[in-house]
Amino acid sequence: MTAPHDGLEPWPPRSHFPAHEPVSESAVHIKTEHLEVSYHGRPALEHVNLILRRGAITALIGPSGCGKSSLLMSLNRLTDIIPGCRVSGTLQIDRLDVLAPDTDLLHLRRTVGMVFQKPAVFPFSIRKNLELPLREHGIRDRPVLSATIEQGLRQVGLWDEVKDRLDHPAQALSGGQQQRLCLARALVLSPEILLLDEPCSALDPISSGIVEDLIAGLRGRYTIVIVTHNLAQARRLADHVAFFWAFGGIGRLVEQGPARDMFESPKEALTAAYLSGIRG
């Protein structure tokens, strides 16, 4: 075991990258090999060999600036719209080569839904917030639209709260309700994968609890990748955990594994130090 270090020296040595643990082929939903994300030519994340299991909740943890959000945004190619951002390496969702230039982004982003830290509802009605993405994906039939919208709102427990004011501005909802609306907006497109970038960190404790319960309720139906700084939340939610650390400003995957193993007997000293609050 290596002693905890100052986080400035490249560690582990560049020759050593944590390899994929053995997983049966059918359980793998997303797989990255030597994934690297850079901004204006400066790497922010490198050599990430990560496996995300189908139907499981995987928490990405680690201090700020270790590239967790960059990794998340490369999974649905959102990195495309960030000026100066480049992603290289391999990234596969099932058989789909995500980073190929001819990847159908509309299809990719329908398969991979995303919810952000700040609830980004659009400045129009609750109904239109849900209807617009459905229309963009070719669903125009009125009865289908209303049924899907109702189902989406029920899924996040918002239906009874807003069914009488679907045409009211979404931005008049409370922060927690807005975040649930964002979740519903992702769910109505029936994705297979959900990316959650600190979905509870901008919410009050009660709303945060509601959203967390919702996420837990989605376990098994979606492959969920959640970035969180709340270790207690990661412990409650995650089936698997991937721990990242920034070495000299460049994020790397230090360790990944089943949540219980990671929290109770991490292999790396750095993981243990971070999880016990000594580092980070």
Partner 1 sequence: MDMVIRPLGKRIREKVATLVVWTAAATVIVPFCWMMSDVLWNGWPHLTLEFLVSPPLDAGRDGGIGPILVSTLLIVGICLAVAIPLGIGSALFLSEFTRQQHRLGRLVRISLDVLAGVPSIVFGLFGNALFCQILGLGFSILSGGLTLACMVLPILIRTVEESFRAVSFDQRLAAAALGFSHHTTIRSVLFPAALPGVVVGTILGLGRAMAETAALIFTSGYVDRMPSSLMDSGRALAVHIYDLAMNVPGGNANAYAGALMLISLLLIINLSASRIAARWTPSYRVPA
Q: Please state, in angstroms and rounded to a whole number, the distance separating the CA atoms of residues 128 and 73.
A: 25
**From candidates 133, 251, 257, 266, binder to partner 1 by CB under 8 A:** 133
The three-class DSSP label of residue 172 is helix
Return the number of the residue (156 or 250) whose C-beta is nearest partner 1.
156
| Residue 248 beta carbon to partner 1: minimum distance, rounded to whole angstroms | 27
**From candidates 4, 7, 12, 169, binder to partner 1 by CB under 8 A:** 169
Q: Please state, in angstroms and rounded to a whole number, the distance separating the CA atoms of residues 253 and 60.
A: 10
Adjacent-strand bridge partners of 245:
252
For 133, residues 6+ apart whose C-beta sits below 8 A from its C-beta are 185, 188, 189
Strand ranges, E, within the chain: 28-39, 42-53, 57-61, 85-93, 96-97, 112-115, 193-197, 223-227, 240-247, 250-258
Q: Which of residues 113-132 bind partner 1 (CB under 8 A)?
A: 113-114, 116, 118, 120, 122-125, 132
Return the number of the residue (100 or 132) whose C-beta is nearest partner 1.
132
Return the number of the residue (170 or 214) whose C-beta is nearest partner 1.
170
Q: Which of residues 5-64 bind partner 1 (CB under 8 A)?
A: none
Site map (CB under 8 A) of partner 1, residues 209-248, x = contact: ----------------------------------------
From 52, 185, 215, select the one nearest 109 (Cα to Cα): 185
Return the number of the residue (104 or 213) whose C-beta is nearest partner 1.
104
| Residue 182 beta carbon to partner 1: minimum distance, rounded to whole angstroms | 7
| Residue 7 beta carbon to partner 1: minimum distance, rounded to whole angstroms | 29
From 190, 193, 189, 199, select the one nearest 57 (Cα to Cα): 193
Q: How many residues lie near partner 1 (CB under 8 A)?
A: 33
Length of the chain: 280
By the 8 A CB rule, do 238 and 226 touch?
yes
Task: State residue 103 phi and psi, 5-degree precision.
Answer: -60, 135
Structure tokens at 252: 């790397």
| Residue 258 beta carbon to partner 1: minimum distance, rounded to whole angstroms | 29
Q: Is 189 in the site for partner 1 (CB under 8 A)?
A: yes
Strand ranges, E, within 116-249: 193-197, 223-227, 240-247
Q: Which among 21-29, 182-190, 220-228, 245-253 is the span making contact with partner 1, rule CB under 8 A?
A: 182-190
Q: Which among 51-59, 77-85, 150-158, 204-212 is the span making contact with partner 1, rule CB under 8 A?
A: 77-85
Q: Which of residues 85-114 bind partner 1 (CB under 8 A)?
A: 105-110, 113-114
Residues that bind partner 1 (CB under 8 A): 76, 78, 80-81, 83, 105-110, 113-114, 116, 118, 120, 122-125, 132-133, 136-137, 168-172, 182, 185-186, 189
